[in-house]
Structure 1
Amino acid sequence: MSPQRSANITAAVILILLAGHLIPASSGQTAQQGTMDQQVLGYRVSKLTCSPTCSGNCYYSWLKQRWISDYWHTDEGYWQHTPTSIGCSTTATVWIDSTSSSIQDKYSCNVYTHVYSLPYCELGEQQWDVMYNLDSVCALEGSSVDLFCIYKHPGGLTVTASFWFINDQPGVGPVDLRDDDQYKGRVQYYQNQNQLYHTVTITDLRANDAQTYKFRFITDDPDGKYTDSSGIRLSVTGLKIEVSDTQGGGKKLICRSTCTLTNPTYIWYRNEQPVSEQNRAVLYLRDRTVDAGSYSCAVKGHEEIRSAAVCGFEGLQVKVEGATAALVEGQTVTLTCSSMCSQFYSNYTWYRNRQAVSEQNRSVEALGTGQNYSITNISSQHSGLYYCTALNQLGQHSSALARLDVFSDWWKQYAVWAAVGLVPALALSLLTAVLCVQRKRRAERGADVQTPKPGDDTYTALNLATTSSSEYDTLTHATHSANDTYSTLNPATRTSSEYDTLMVVGPPPVQSGAPDEENN
């Protein structure tokens, strides 16, 4: 082997050793020793910058030599003979957390270009990172959402600022969400004391909040600023019900969102009341009577955020307002086209049919549009069958026929006459009823008189054979008078030409003993 060739091989080996990598000769890559710039940040961090810079398929190799103190000679020492590789980077600047007052480190770098396959490097940009919990998230309009990330930076640096943003203004840089007019008062930040993670909460979500949100942090190194380029994509959705027909005349309702919610539990409402045992996105309606009503849906945990309501098996009906039970000429009448879901209809049209129901299509008259139809100074010519039509998301609907009968003035006059005659008749009936009640009460009082009993303390019964009594002189003879009236007794003689009257009335015998003793 020639001396020249031997010298070339020795130089190559030395270069490779200095680089800290064994480079195959056939790889096609080249190695160049770089110039090192070392800057100490704070107490421990060394910021290293290698030049020249490279681009494309290239990387930087970093080596370290340690100063070994000579304990036998106090003022002397020596550098470590063989540099130690501490890693590689795809950027020209790295941060090393190893500086101390007792151990002095010396660093060097090599630049590798025309590399066929780049190695995995842990220094440089790998020392900086932001990791998001999700790539994308779907949230309901009007609700709140939490966006979360974990970030890292070279050891020894201190984070001085951190925030989320969507706008990166030219010449200004990223704008903190808290300072963005679109988010004023709706953003809150949370982070732990060690600043290992960061969370932003956005409340009262709106449709235009659908953006990509990125996190940025700044350290005490003027060049130590980092923003991840990916971020979290936020989608904001509302809820909407899709309606379709099923076999057998039923309905199928599906609660839809424009993005995929995370494990939602659905809640269905009929006429503002929860439908029990229904927590899926699909709801089937089968009974036109039981299932009739207005339906909306929501997601558990956000019950206050509901979809627009739709109708299930609900028709239109005509209501007559502002009139008495019997319509009379001259009144004002308002017809209203309504249903349980009337607020979701549009394009109301009114019709009148003057003929019988079976002849409806022969004499139909279009009257006007609008949910209400008023008739002022109504007359018998307005009588007929009225109905309305309206549109909703399911198509056009027609109400049932409503009959409107209007009576002329003569009917009103007869009604007044009947009322005038009815009042006296009622009064007379009431008076007769009062008199009957009073008469019945008098008869009941007369029936309460008891028949005297023999041995009674107050009365003594007459002897039917002699018509006499031991206590009273009774009349023994009575003559019939042709006169309908009665003759008066003579007070002096106590006699009458028509009657034998009692002459002596003796006091009743005195009873011995107390009344209570007699009963004992």
Structure 2
Amino acid sequence: MFSRTSGNITAAVILILLTGVQAQHSVTLSSQSLCALTGSSVKISCKYTTADSSRVRETEWYQLQSSDGEERVLSKDPQFSARVSVRTEQNDCDLTVRDVRLRDSGVYNFRFRPSSSDWISASSGVNLTVTELQVKVDHKTAGQRKVKVICSSTCSLGANPHYDWYRNEVYKAYTDDTFIVLDSTRSSDEGSYSCQVEDSSGKRHRSPSVCVLGKECWGVTYTPERVCALKGSSVDLSCSYNPGGHTVTKSVWFIKEQAGAEPVDVREDEDYQGRVQYRQSFQNDCSMRITHLRESDAQTYRFRFYTDGGEYTGQPGVTLSVTDLKVSVSDTDSGGKKLNCSSTCTLPNNLTYIWYKNGQPVIHCKSAFCSVAVVSGTVSYSCAVEGHVSLISPPLCSAELWKLHAVWGAVGVVPVLALFLLTAILCIKRKRRAERDTDIQTPDPADHTYAALNPATMTSDYDTLQVSLAVHPHREKRRAPEMKNERSFVIKQFYECHNKPDTVLQ
């Protein structure tokens, strides 16, 4: 009896709890990601529920993550307001975006504000990717007799799509596959190609035209056209080329071009001996690697290829800048210091930086900027890039450290100068005394007085005199090389710290 009653109570409690859970505010989206072709329409299905039939004061769709990182309310944004519509029947919140563009890619979410609480939204939005059709040449067939041309898209185009192909804007073929195969030896296959596909709603989408075959299609693409790299490091100059269906017989990278003369392969230049590698990850790849970069490597590099039908040089080339690192400093609003590991050109933004304080790593600093508290004493900071720790910047020193090096440099010089002057004075006095003694008398070699001063028969007293006047200077002379090495070290540090002699950290 007790057991049955207890079971009924438990079931009732569970039912009440489930009812409470179901009555909570919530937003439900039909999917987590969508992909659409440019120019098409996109629909995101949406439902929302309120607890206890609470009155909804406000609803809105917004782009949580846009191309510029800002949050946008669609109904208030002029780029969307004329192209969006929201279904508002009962608890529906379906969103439709028409004529989507590449910049519409981003994360979308819906939210509502009940009378009894703040905004309610889905835990995660819908990631919309907008893409366009593209015609691409299969790099494995570039330069071959049979060239494979692909109609490419990152989106699924639905079940069993078919493709229409156009050559020089004139209809050429129909395929069920995403590609066609062209014959590079036939002039009727030369020209520019585009493809067209029909989506599930019946709307047709067409790709931009791409020159595929023929000498007029030749080209070289540098990505990017400007490169910045650290002195002493290695750099890849990325490049791809289109030989227009012809067979490539030779290719070179070069720096200087002279009228009427073939350009010199950079690998044969004595300044680049053993430092240049041509890389060919695929057939029309023309990338080049330069190692152990020098300041003189800052040049504009161009790629030229030769075929059975002529030659072509890619313009404008790749401009390479070579830089080293330098630490600069500025004040922060909190009264601290902001250190900047700077370079003369813009290095890639995905680098990890390493900071050093008095030669020891600063663990909390990983970017080109490092914030430090105000400190006193002898402090120096330097920086490097992960993977190139040997290419460390010159130290940026505090005023105290700079002054200390300057004092050390002076202190190292003064004793040596004083010792030199003292030794010179003693030598002059001894010489004059010897000349005066010669004028007074000519001593007999047997004379005991002379014997006392004869180096061959020195007494202990004379030894003591020599020790006081000569041995100590010789001892100082033995120390001089050590002092000279110390001064060299101090002078080196002095000039390194001389980059910024004013106060850095106080």
TM-score computed with the length of structure 1 as normaliser? 0.40
Greater fraction of residues in helix:
2
Greater CA radius of gyration, 1 or 2?
1
